[in-house]
């Protein structure tokens, strides 16, 4: 049970300045920032090891104006990035909130890189949908596991306590709604009381809570959930009980390219660089370049809730640059054929319809016809034999709505007045994707995990008495 307990005091087993609930990218970034202020910091993570959705992710963080971009001679600006985010969410996100995050993220990337030696580079061989420039920063492993390990290594070198197997069940607040601590459950059923001068909610959203999904995102209630099981929505439930403002709870990131039944993400780079998606009839059904998030809904709308990613050897080589793609290939998810007819027969679609679909794509690329779905086909990226197919389905990756935060990452009442010492970051906070699936620009998840994580950690640390 998740509760807010009201009490003027807490009989504490442990006392810290700053309690961070959740040990994903948001929580660990917040821990680094809070620790720099001199505050004592405890990260409470319900699982036995640090992972979160962060470790399941591709680990790609968009940022404009970093030192790394400059080093790679990539011209970009906060204004262009801001415009890309607002175009994707159709201007449904709060202008100031997005500005703050776009302004913060390059500083956070440079800070992690300079101070904590977390090495990043920018992927510059393809653009993700909706991004004007190359700005996806990634650690050398190009995985979320690599990112979480590097953050964990940095945190463990600081004076920060990371407690795993600790599920925070209750927040304790006084009569003025000031947090004074939390109650935690241990796997053996015992509980501990932690007194804290500030609390950071870094426990992500509610993707793993079927009741909350049915309530706020009914279109995905029967879909595969591909995020972390620890994301049970406590931040939302505490926020509700506190009377805090919650925003865009119907917003989420979906993905239209999870290998089925293997359950492995197949990079959308294939679609951006010339691949297409077809249904069981052998027909395309959407503009693949609109974005992989909304494509989840389009794929789930096809017969059997599946579609096929179609690509060729050139794109398979591109895909092999990604860990997940290699796992999909090793698992036998890739079907290869020397001709269109052979591939059609192998995947069970009508060869003549499939042939017509590919021929039409060639005509769009040649400028003879316009794609009815509105995609621009690049003539230099036509598919050629040998061909590949992967059967995929659509999935829910993570929720994007959450607690509305101000520029200091404090959670707020509906009238805008902040809660003095309760902060939210990452998937616990309302992101920058607006109220529906189509507003998610690639990377919006880790964008708010890292940027709001640094802000929350810094501000929370500074509000605590010892560091003042
Ligand atoms: C397959 C996949 C690929 C993705 N790829 C990308 C990408 O390339 N780029 C991008 O920007 N985003 C991506 N995302 C989204 C991204 O992973 C998330 O937005 C991001 O990891 C959120 O970070 P977080 O720290 O808020 O949450 P998490 O990393 O999920 O961490 C939250 C932690 O809180 C813990 N927790 C929850 N409740 C409690 C509690 N009550 N007590 C104690 N601990 C608790 C959880 O166990 C969890 O470890 C992807 C997501 C998925 C699923």
pLDDT of residue 126: 86
Same domain, residue pair 111 and 259: no
Mean pLDDT, to the nearest integer, of 34-42? Answer: 97
What CATH number is attached to the domain comprising 325? 3.90.700.10
Same domain, residue pair 145 and 282: no
Same domain, residue pair 18 and 44: yes
Q: Ligand 1, residues 446, 447, 456: which to mutate, most atoms within 8 A of Cβ? A: 446
315 pLDDT more than 50? yes
pLDDT of residue 466: 52
Q: What is the mean pLDDT of the chain?
A: 96
Same domain, residue pair 22 and 142: yes
Same domain, residue pair 339 and 452: no
* Atom of ligand 1 minimally distant from the CA of 148: 29
Q: Ligand 1, residues 24, 129, 393, 405: which to mutate, most atoms within 8 A of Cβ? A: 24
Same domain, residue pair 418 and 448: yes
Mean pLDDT, to the nearest integer, of 27-48? Answer: 98
- The whole-angstrom separation of Cα 468 and Cα 463 is 7
Q: Ligand 1, residues 54, 199, 402: which to mutate, most atoms within 8 A of Cβ? A: 54
Same domain, residue pair 416 and 448: yes
Same domain, residue pair 121 and 139: yes
Report how far ligand 1's centroid is from the alpha carbon of 218 (Å).
21
- The whole-angstrom separation of Cα 14 and Cα 17 is 10
Same domain, residue pair 446 and 307: no
467 pLDDT more than 80? no
* DSSP classification of residue 436: S
Q: Whose CA is nearest to atom 16 of ligand 1?
A: 445
Among residues 338, 369, 396, which one ends one of the domains? 396
Structural domain harbouring 140: 3-249+401-467
pLDDT of residue 1: 72
Mean pLDDT, to the nearest integer, of 204-213? Answer: 97
- The answer to whether the beta carbons of residues 61 and 447 sit under 8 Å apart is yes
Query: Considering only CA atoms, which of 351, 350, 355, 375 is closest in space to residue 365?
Result: 375
Same domain, residue pair 177 and 242: yes
Same domain, residue pair 346 and 412: no
Among residues 351, 366, 396, which one ends one of the domains? 396
447 pLDDT more than 80? yes
pLDDT tier, 281 (very low <50, low <70, confident <90, very high otherwise): very high
pLDDT tier, 67 (very low <50, low <70, confident <90, very high otherwise): very high
Count of domains for the chain: 2
Report how far ligand 1's centroid is from the alpha carbon of 335 (Å).
31
Same domain, residue pair 242 and 269: no
What confidence tens digit (pLDDT) does each residue in 385-416 have? 999 999 999 999 999 999 999 999 999 999 99
| Single pTM value for the model | 0.94
Sign of the torsion angle spanned by Cα atoms 324, 329, 333, 338: positive
What CATH number is attached to the domain comprising 183? 3.50.50.60
Ligand 1, pocket residues at CB < 6 Å: 21-27, 44-47, 51-54, 56-61, 167-168, 202-204, 226-228, 230-232, 234, 265, 397-398, 426-427, 443, 445-447, 449
- The answer to whether the beta carbons of residues 210 and 221 sit under 8 Å apart is yes
What confidence tens digit (pLDDT) does each residue in 86-123 have? 999 999 999 999 999 999 999 999 999 999 999 999 99
215 pLDDT more than 70? yes
Q: Whose CA is nearest to atom 3 of ligand 1?
A: 57
């Amino acid at each position: 049970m998740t509760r807010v307990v009201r009490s003027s005091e807490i009989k504490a087993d442990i006392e810290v300045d700053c309690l961070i609930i959740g040990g994903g990218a948001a929580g660990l970034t917040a821990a680094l920032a809070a620790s720099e202020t001199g505050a004592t910091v405890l990260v409470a993570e319900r699982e036995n090891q640090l992972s979160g959705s962060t470790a399941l992710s591709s680990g790609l963080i968009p940022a404009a104006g970093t030192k790394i971009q400059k080093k790679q001679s990539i011209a970009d600006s906060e204004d262009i990035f801001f415009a890309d985010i607002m175009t994707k969410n159709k201007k449904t996100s709060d202008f100031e909130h997005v500005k703050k995050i776009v302004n913060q993220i390059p500083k956070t990337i440079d800070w992690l890189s300079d101070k904590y030696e977390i090495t990043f580079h920018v992927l510059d061989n393809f653009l993700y949908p909706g991004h004007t420039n190359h700005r996806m920063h990634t650690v050398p492993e190009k995985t979320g596991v690599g990112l979480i390990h590097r953050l964990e290594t940095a945190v463990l070198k600081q004076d920060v306590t990371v407690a795993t197997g600790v599920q925070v069940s209750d927040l304790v607040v006084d009569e003025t709604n000031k947090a004074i601590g939390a109650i935690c459950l241990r796997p053996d059923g015992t509980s501990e009381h932690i007194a804290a001068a500030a609390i950071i909610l870094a426990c992500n959203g509610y993707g793993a809570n079927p009741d909350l999904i049915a309530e706020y995102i009914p279109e995905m209630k029967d879909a595969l959930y591909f995020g972390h099981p620890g994301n049970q929505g406590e931040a939302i439930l505490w926020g509700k009980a506190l009377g805090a403002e919650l925003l865009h709870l119907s917003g989420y990131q979906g993905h239209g390219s999870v290998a089925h039944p293997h359950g492995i993400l197949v990079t959308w780079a294939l679609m951006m660089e010339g691949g297409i998606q077809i249904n069981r009839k052998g027909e395309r059904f959407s503009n693949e370049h609109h974005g992989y998030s909304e494509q989840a809904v389009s794929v789930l709308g096809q017969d059997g809730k599946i579609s096929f990613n179609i690509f060729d050897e050139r794109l398979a080589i591109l895909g092999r640059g990604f860990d997940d793609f290699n796992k999909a290939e090793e698992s036998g998810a890739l079907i290869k054929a020397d001709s269109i007819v052979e591939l059609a027969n192998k995947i069970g679609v009508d060869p003549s319809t499939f042939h017509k679909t590919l021929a039409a794509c060639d005509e769009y690329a040649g400028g003879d016809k316009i794609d009815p779905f509105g995609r621009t086909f690049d003539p230099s990226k036509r598919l050629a034999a040998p061909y590949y197919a992967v059967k995929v389905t659509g999935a829910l990756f993570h929720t994007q709505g959450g607690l509305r935060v101000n520029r200091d990452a404090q959670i707020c009442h509906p009238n805008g007045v902040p809660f003095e010492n309760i902060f939210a970051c990452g998937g616990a906070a309302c992101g920058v994707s607006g109220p529906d699936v189509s507003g998610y620009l690639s990377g919006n998840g880790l964008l708010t995990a890292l940027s709001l994580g640094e802000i929350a950690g810094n501000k929370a640390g500074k509000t605590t008495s010892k560091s003042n």
